Structure 1
Amino acid sequence: MNQRWITYTLVVISTAVTAFGITLVLLAELGVDPISTFLLGGLNFVPIRFGTGSQIFSLTFLVINYFLNPKFFGIGSIIFSIGCGYFINLFLTMDLMAALPLQSIPNIFIALIGILIYGIGTGLFLFTKTGTGPLEGLMFFLSTRLNVTIKVTRMVIDGILVATGILLGGLYGFGTILCIFLIGPIIELSLRVFTFLGNSVKKVA
């Protein structure tokens, strides 16, 4: 029971961390992450809040993931998908630029920090093995089917989302390009590091 509580505590923490990273990318105002580019394009036609749109997007892909492979779906998938939208809404209502000393930091560094946090948070969530996120299930599926690395698969998925978002009139910029090329590698590296640390702790225990 204690192990289960630890696992799902990590799920909640990783969800908040991922959402915080996404929020920092938004605040950097150098474009947004690929999912946000897609969502902001879609929100030009559907008048709902960004966080709400994120939840709808996530739940839609969770259903797709389930049909691709039921193992991709778990309780953690629901917490992560719904929770990200909730935390994004929460962080956007805070004046983080004033609460944190971000005004003195160049926007490019804020975007890079956000991307790093985003990737680490997602890697931590995948480490819990309680399901996958909305894009991560598709990422694992295509990676296995096409026999390519996770980072390459994620880059392709993100690139398609950005291209579609741009066609819909979504926001994009240099930060968006950075997301395409950095999020996948950071997720892959983070997952490896967390897995290594987890195995090390089990050996010591």
Structure 2
Amino acid sequence: MTKIGNRRDHLVRRLVQLYVGLALYGFSMALMIEATLGLDPWDVFHQGLTRLTGLSMGTVTIVVGALVLLLWIPLRQRPGLGTVSNVVVIGLVVDAALALLPTPQPLPVRVGFLAAGIVLNGMATGLYLGARLGPGPRDGLMTGFVARRPGRSIRLTRTVIEVTVLAVGWLLGGTVGVGTVAYALLIGPLAHVFIPLFRVPPPAALPPAATPDAHPA
């Protein structure tokens, strides 16, 4: 296969991985919402706004993502295709998944929904970040604040942002519970596993395609 063909396949892989990851992220959100055992900080905020405005969860997710993206301008952050796609795709998928998924009543089923949602969320994060087509607007907000003040702790910045949106979301009626704590404890280790696992190497790191079997899967 030619070098151009190799690069085309590489881009196709990244695009497919990006959109699979974003769709899976929206689906994982819907699982955690239906579990009604607590959401991650940003989704507590989204759900609080949903209850305040009467808009769907997906619509609020899109609107908040777009507003957060506007904050990138003073921070001099540059969005990628993945950033813009993140704003739209996740919101559309979460609404579609909520329309299709049942709302379980037995506690074991709700726990299963929550556990699956957290694991799939970690996997989805690895997929869309590993595609290297741009971070989500909320991730970029965090890195933008850190970049503006070198030496500022990424962990501290993220904690401040997420505690703030969690508190506001809770005051607006978003669901805080054991799922919120479980997500906070597990998403870091899950991302640590899945981001390197799904990271697509840059084209320069690809092996030469001497035979059809040589190009990357």
Instruction: Indicate the TM-score class for this superposition, using the shorter chain for normalisation.
Output: 0.7 to 0.9
Q: Residue 20 of structure 2 aligns to which amino acid in structure 1?
A: I
Q: Which moved more, 1:160-169 or 1:186-195?
A: 186-195
1:164 to 157, 164, 168: 168
The answer as to 2:80 corresponding to 1:77 is no
Using the aligned pairs only, state the percent identity.
25
Partner of 1:131, secondary structure, is coil
- The answer on whether the counterparts of 1:155 and 1:180 sit within 8 Å (CA) in structure 2 is no
- The answer on whether the counterparts of 2:130 and 2:195 sit within 8 Å (CA) in structure 1 is yes
Aligned to 1:14: 21
- The answer on whether the counterparts of 1:11 and 1:80 sit within 8 Å (CA) in structure 2 is no
The answer as to 2:124 corresponding to 1:121 is yes
- The answer on whether the counterparts of 1:158 and 1:180 sit within 8 Å (CA) in structure 2 is no
Unpaired runs of at least 5, structure 1: none
* Structure of higher CA gyration radius: 2
Which runs of structure 2 are paired with 1:32-43 in the superposition (5 Å)?
Answer: 32-43=39-50
1:60 is displaced (CA, Å) by 1.1
Aligned to 1:137: 140
CA distance in 1 between counterparts of 2:141 and 2:188 reads 13
Unpaired runs of at least 5, structure 2: 1-7, 208-213
1:81 is displaced (CA, Å) by 1.4
- The answer on whether the counterparts of 2:77 and 2:144 sit within 8 Å (CA) in structure 1 is no
CA distance in 2 between counterparts of 1:143 and 1:120 reads 25
2:193 to 186, 189, 195: 189
Q: Residue 167 of structure 1 aligns to which amino acid in structure 2?
A: L
Q: Residue 133 of structure 1 aligns to which amino acid in structure 2?
A: G
Q: Which moved more, 1:113-122 or 1:80-89?
A: 113-122
Aligned to 2:38: 31
Per the normalisation by structure 1, the TM-score is 0.81
Q: Describe the shift of the 1:156–1:109 C-alpha distance in structure 2 as closer, same or farther (beyond 3 A).
A: farther
Q: Describe the shift of the 1:125–1:38 C-alpha distance in structure 2 as closer, same or farther (beyond 3 A).
A: same
CA distance in 1 between counterparts of 2:190 and 2:164 reads 19
Aligned to 2:184: 180
1:123 is displaced (CA, Å) by 2.2
The answer as to 2:127 corresponding to 1:86 is no
Partner of 1:70, secondary structure, is coil
CA distance in 1 between counterparts of 2:33 and 2:118 reads 10
The answer as to 2:57 corresponding to 1:50 is yes
Q: Residue 159 of structure 1 aligns to which amino acid in structure 2?
A: V
Q: Residue 82 of structure 1 aligns to which amino acid in structure 2?
A: V
Counting matched residue pairs gives 198
CA distance in 1 between counterparts of 2:129 and 2:196 reads 10
Aligned to 2:5: none
Per the normalisation by structure 2, the TM-score is 0.77
